[in-house]
Amino acid sequence: MSIRNLELRARVVVEGFWSGLHRSPYHGFSVEFTEYRQYSPDDDPRYLDWRVFARSDRYFIKKFEEETNLRCYVLADRSRSMAYGSTGCTKAEYAATLAATLAYFLYMQGDAVGVLTFDEENRDYLPARHRTGHLRQVMLALEKPALGRGTSLAAPLERIVEMVRRRSLMMLISDFLAPIGRLESDLLALSACGHEVIVFQVLDPAELDLSFQEPAMFEDAESGRTLFIDPRSARKEYQRKLEAHCQSLRTACQRLGIACERLTTDRPLELALFGFLRQRMQHKRGPRRMARSKVGL
């Protein structure tokens, strides 16, 4: 995390485990004809079939079944709770590095990468593309500081369901320190659309064990609410509630067949990512895997 540039950081991380995968990217691209459709205004004239026009003197659009590489969307939480960090690296930075790493990795594979940042509402949205310079825009969106005053998990999921019609890989990166009442239904909607979803929960070690000693006024990073907390007396209850919350998240994901990975900011990202990929490789070709995915994500 000492590298300031996010893209460079992502590249370092990717190169760290790239050699370990021993996989080569697949650059295939094909066009398969499906049907003709009569031309209507606003249709792209590039797709007019001039031969049919020559024969029949009528305009027809030639439709193809597009075949692309993997489409991947990174849904990154940019709320203020993500700005907390007790290890010198905030959760936001850790999550941004994670998202950038995955985006870079997929981009290098030739897959299209999109991004949607959110806090209490949706912020930046970049559709999945594989163009020159697109990766840089993705990095810029991820680099923005986490300033959101709340976390709404439903908003990005609903938005992505509306915006993305084709099956894609959805990577949801958040600390999930928000009520998850509707999360399961939203994830179900996402899965139902054919998307593959991976959930990354990024937490700080201090959040896991409430490693404070002195009583103090604790200030909520998002709402600014303050509470006098004696950590020694409140720790046990806190850990119990947090664990219950995380467990409910895991349970929901499990029910939907969604991979849920908890990452702590004190763990090196490449190691965490490598462990996750290895685990994924072992469960390769699961029932809801995308058919055309060439990589083991």
Q: Give the residues lining the site for another protein (CB under 8 A).
A: 81-82, 84, 91, 175, 177-179, 204, 207, 212, 214-223, 225-230, 233-234, 237-238, 241-242, 245
CB of 265 to another protein, least distance (A): 11
**Residues sharing a CB contact under 8 Å with residue 29, sequence separation 6 or more, in sequence order:** 67, 68, 69
Rounded to whole angstroms, the Cα distance separating 96 from 100 reads 6
Strands 60-67 and 122-129: unpaired
Closest CB to another protein among residues 7, 204: 204
CB of 252 to another protein, least distance (A): 17
Closest CB to another protein among residues 25, 150: 150
Closest CB to another protein among residues 66, 209: 209
> Hey, what are 272's tokens?
């965490």
CB of 179 to another protein, least distance (A): 8
Secondary structure element (H or E) that encloses residue 271, with its range: helix 269-282
Closest CB to another protein among residues 201, 293: 201
Burial 12-28 (b: 16+ CB within 10 A, else e): bbbebbeeeeeeeeeee
**Residues sharing a CB contact under 8 Å with residue 206, sequence separation 6 or more, in sequence order:** 86, 87, 212
CB of 155 to another protein, least distance (A): 18
CB of 294 to another protein, least distance (A): 37
Closest CB to another protein among residues 49, 207: 207
